[in-house]
Chains A and B, each alone.
Chain A
C-alpha cells in the first residue's frame, strides 16, 4: 500500500514538469504542401513563409527556419519525417538524461529500500499452521507458462532497457566509451527484438488472469484493513487479494503502455513526427520504471517473502492450509468444484 502511494506521487512529480514544458515548443507548420509529404494536424497549421526569400542568400534566416523545426519535403519517404532539426529534441534529451534518470533511479532505489524495510520489519510471511500434505491446484499449466514467459522476457527487457537508459552514466566510468558501445549495441538489438514477445505476453496474461483479477467486495475490506500485513489478522480473499490485483493491473496498464509505445519505437518509420517518438519514449520509460519498481517488490514477495508462493507458481499446487490462510474464499470454492467433477473424465492437460 505504502509503495503504491509513493509511486503515484512520484509519477505526478515526474510527469508534471515534463508535460508542462513539452507544450512550449510546438513547431510552426506550413499550411500547404506538395502531395506525398506528411500532413500535420489542422490546429497546428499556420500560414507559412518560404525558408528563404527569393534572391536572398541570408543563411542565418535559412538556419533560423530550420532550427524552428520547419518542415520540408523529402526525396524519399523512407528517410523519416521531413524535419531537419527539431529543437524540442534538446528538451527531450535533457528530460531524459536529468529528470528521467534521476527520478527513475530514486524510484528504483525507493522500491528496493521499501522491500528491504518490509523484510526487516515483517520478515518472511510463513504459514501459521502446519501444512496438511493435501494439495490444491492453484495455477494451471498455461497460467504458469505464461507467467514465467512474461517474467523471463520482462527481466531481459528490463535489464537491456536499464542499460539503454543508464548506460552512459553508469557504464562509461566502468567500461569506457568503447565498452559501453558493446553493451549498448547488444542491449539495443536484444531489446528491440524481445519487445514484441513482451507484447504477446501481456495479452496472454490479460486473457488468462484477467477474470480472477476483477475487483470484488472482499477487496475493499482487504484494503481497508491494510491487508493484515502488520496485524497478522486473517483477511478473507478470493483467488487474488487486492494487493495482487493492484499489481496485476499495474502490469497490464504499464504493459500495454510499454508495448504500444515500444512497438512505435521499434517500427519508428510509422511515426509521422519526431515528437511522437519522443512522447512514446517518455511513456515507455515511465511505464517501464514503474513496472521494474513494482517487480522488485513482486519478486521479493513471490520468492522468499511469502512461504509457499514460489511453489505455487512452479508446481501449480498449494497446501490446503496455505490456501485457507491466504485465500480462504477461493479455497472453499475450489473444493466445491472439485467434488462436482464427473467420473471417467481424463485429467486436465497438466
Chain B
C-alpha cells in the first residue's frame, strides 16, 4: 500500500448517455455553484495535516491512504481553486490550477461514494474544523449531474424518482400497511384527511422489519395521538440526499411537508432512520425555500420526550445492553441523550462501546454505502471494527435506532456468522410498554 501520486485506475459506473464533455462540464458547474462563504472558508483552511484520516473507519481498517477524507474531495477543491477562489484568474493564467478532467472524476467516484458514509467523524478530528462530510455530500451533487454514481445506488434513485419511494407505488404501500395491521393486530390509520401527526417509514422497515412499523403504530395509538400514514407521502428515506440528486432530495422533502400541511399535521414523525433526520429535520428549510411551519421529530426523540413526561410507562427489562450511535442522529443530529434516556427507562445496564456518543465509529453502511454493491469489502471491514467493539462490552443486548445501521449489522453478522442480533429501540419500547 505505498502511496503513489499518479492517477488511480479504479472501477466506476456511468449512467445516461451524455457526451463526456457535457458530463465534465455538468460536474464542474455544479461544484462551483456550491461555494458560498462556508464552503470557501473550508477550502481556504486545509493545511494537509492528515489528521482526518485518523478518524475515518475506512482508512483505519484498511491502512490505505487513498481513503484520507480530505483527499476524497480533491476534484471539488480543484474546481474551487480554478473557478471560484479569490485568485482563480491568476492561478488559471499561471497554470497553477489544473482543470478537473473526466478521468479524474471517474477515478474519484469510488472515493466519493464507496468510501464515505457521510458520518462526519473526520469533521470532528480536523483541527481547522473543516466539515469534510458536508463537502463530500456537496461534491456528490456534481457527480450525480455527471452521471457518475454507483449503479445500484443510481437504480434506487431512479425508482424513487418514478415511484416516490424505492419501496413501491402507493398501492403497494397501502397493501403492505393492511398486511402489517392484520398480522400484528394493530390499528394503522391510512390516508386520513386530517391528523395532528404524519408518520413516515422506510423500505427496510416495511420489507425486513415490519414489527417496528407495528410498534410505532401501537405506541402512537396508546398515546391517543391523532395520526395517519399517507400512501402518497410515506417515504422517510431520502436517496436524493444520499446520492447527490438535488431535485429528488427537494421533491421528497417537499412531498412530506406539503402532505403534512394538507392534513393539518403539526408534526412529521420519522422512523428509526439516520439520514432521514439529516434531510427532513436539518435540511428541509433549505430545500423548501423557507420555514416549513412543520415540526420534524425522530422516533427516538419522540419516545424519549414521552418517557420523560411520563406518557409512556415501561416495564423494566433485564440484562445489559450496548448502543450503536447512528451518525446522522447523534454526531450530526444532536440526539445523543435520547437513546440513553430510553435505555435507562427500560432498565438495561448500559455498557457503552469504547467509542460512543459523538465520537462513535460509523457502522460503515450509511451514506448510500449499503446500497452500493461495489463497496461491500470496505463495508465489511468497518463492520468488523464495530463487531470487536461490541464484543468487548460483553453486553447481552445490542441496540441501534437506524434502519441502515440495522441492515449493515444484520448483513455483516450473516457474512461473519456472528450470533448477535441487532435490536431496535422502538420495538423494545413497544415490547415493554405498560398499556392499561
Do A and B share a direct contact in the complex (Cβ within 8 angstroms)?
A: yes
Q: Which residues of A contact B (CB under 8 A)?
A: 135, 315, 317, 342-350
Partner of A135, one of B2, B59, B384, B385: B2
Interchain nearest-CB distance for B52 vs A (Å): 14
Given known A-B contacts A315-B2, A317-B2, A344 and B60 have beta carbons under 8 A apart: no
Contact string against A for B residues 47-68, beta-carbon threshold 8 Å, 1 for contact and 0 otherwise:
0000000100001111100000
Inter-subunit contact A346/B2 (CB<8 Å): no
Q: How far is the CA of A186 from the CA of B387 in the complex (A)?
A: 59
Residues of B within 8 A of A315 (CB): 2-3
Q: Which residues of B contact A (CB under 8 A)?
A: 1-3, 54, 59-63, 384-385, 387-388
Q: How far is the CA of A315 from the CA of B62 in the complex (A)?
A: 17
Interchain nearest-CB distance for B2 vs A (Å): 5
Inter-subunit contact A347/B60 (CB<8 Å): yes
Residues of B within 8 A of A349 (CB): 54
Interchain nearest-CB distance for A123 vs B (Å): 26
Inter-subunit contact A345/B388 (CB<8 Å): yes
Residues of A within 8 A of B388 (CB): 342-345
Inter-subunit contact B384/A348 (CB<8 Å): no
Q: How far is the CA of A348 from the CA of B374 in the complex (A)?
A: 26
Interface SS majority for chain A: loop
Inter-subunit contact A343/B63 (CB<8 Å): no
In the assembled complex, 24 residue pairs joining A and B whose CB atoms fall closer than 8 Å, in A order, are A135-B1, A135-B2, A315-B2, A315-B3, A317-B1, A317-B2, A342-B388, A343-B384, A343-B388, A344-B61, A344-B384, A344-B385, A344-B387, A344-B388, A345-B385, A345-B388, A346-B60, A346-B385, A347-B59, A347-B60, A347-B61, A347-B62, A347-B63, A349-B54
Interchain nearest-CB distance for A343 vs B (Å): 6
Residues of B within 8 A of A350 (CB): 63
Interchain nearest-CB distance for A313 vs B (Å): 13
Interchain nearest-CB distance for B115 vs A (Å): 14
Residues of B within 8 A of A135 (CB): 1-2
Q: How far is the CA of A343 from the CA of B2 in the complex (A)?
A: 22
Residues of B within 8 A of A344 (CB): 61, 384-385, 387-388
Q: How far is the CA of A348 from the CA of B388 in the complex (A)?
A: 16
Interchain nearest-CB distance for B391 vs A (Å): 9
Q: How far is the CA of A344 from the CA of B381 in the complex (A)?
A: 7
Closest to B416 in A: A343
Q: How far is the CA of A198 from the CA of B217 in the complex (A)?
A: 71
Residues of A within 8 A of B61 (CB): 344, 346-347
Interchain nearest-CB distance for B265 vs A (Å): 44
Q: Which 5 pairs from chain A and chain B are nearest by CB?
A: A347-B63, A344-B388, A346-B60, A344-B384, A315-B2
Residues of A within 8 A of B1 (CB): 135, 317
Query: In this complex, which of A315, A317, A342, A344 has the most chain B Cβ atoms within 10 angstroms of its Cβ?
Result: A344
Closest to B392 in A: A344
Closest to B382 in A: A344
Residues of A within 8 A of B2 (CB): 135, 315, 317
Closest to B3 in A: A315
Query: In this complex, which of A345, A346, A350 has the most chain B Cβ atoms within 10 angstroms of its Cβ?
Result: A346
Residues of B within 8 A of A348 (CB): 63
Residues of A within 8 A of B387 (CB): 344
Having A317-B2, A345-B385, A347-B63, one finds 14 other A-B pairs with CB under 8 Å, namely A135-B1, A135-B2, A315-B2, A317-B1, A343-B388, A344-B61, A344-B385, A344-B388, A346-B60, A346-B385, A347-B59, A347-B60, A347-B61, A350-B63
Residues of A within 8 A of B385 (CB): 344-346
Q: How far is the CA of A344 from the CA of B353 in the complex (A)?
A: 14
Interchain nearest-CB distance for B406 vs A (Å): 20
Residues of A within 8 A of B62 (CB): 347
Q: How far is the CA of A349 from the CA of B60 in the complex (A)?
A: 8
Closest to A347 in B: B63
Interchain nearest-CB distance for B125 vs A (Å): 13
Residues of B within 8 A of A342 (CB): 388
Residues of A within 8 A of B60 (CB): 346-347
Residues of A within 8 A of B3 (CB): 315
Closest to A350 in B: B63
Interchain nearest-CB distance for A133 vs B (Å): 11
Q: How far is the CA of A135 from the CA of B63 in the complex (A)?
A: 14
Query: In this complex, which of A315, A317, A343 has the most chain B Cβ atoms within 10 angstroms of its Cβ?
Result: A343
Interchain nearest-CB distance for B309 vs A (Å): 41
Closest to B391 in A: A344
Q: How far is the CA of A156 from the CA of B334 in the complex (A)?
A: 52
Q: How far is the CA of A321 from the CA of B384 in the complex (A)?
A: 32
Q: How far is the CA of A222 from the CA of B293 in the complex (A)?
A: 81
Closest to B65 in A: A350
Q: How far is the CA of A317 from the CA of B4 in the complex (A)?
A: 13
Interchain nearest-CB distance for A125 vs B (Å): 21
Interchain nearest-CB distance for A289 vs B (Å): 37
Interchain nearest-CB distance for A141 vs B (Å): 11
Residues of A within 8 A of B384 (CB): 343-344
Interchain nearest-CB distance for A33 vs B (Å): 58
Residues of B within 8 A of A345 (CB): 385, 388
Q: How far is the CA of A343 from the CA of B3 in the complex (A)?
A: 24
Q: How far is the CA of A348 from the CA of B384 in the complex (A)?
A: 16
Interchain nearest-CB distance for A310 vs B (Å): 13
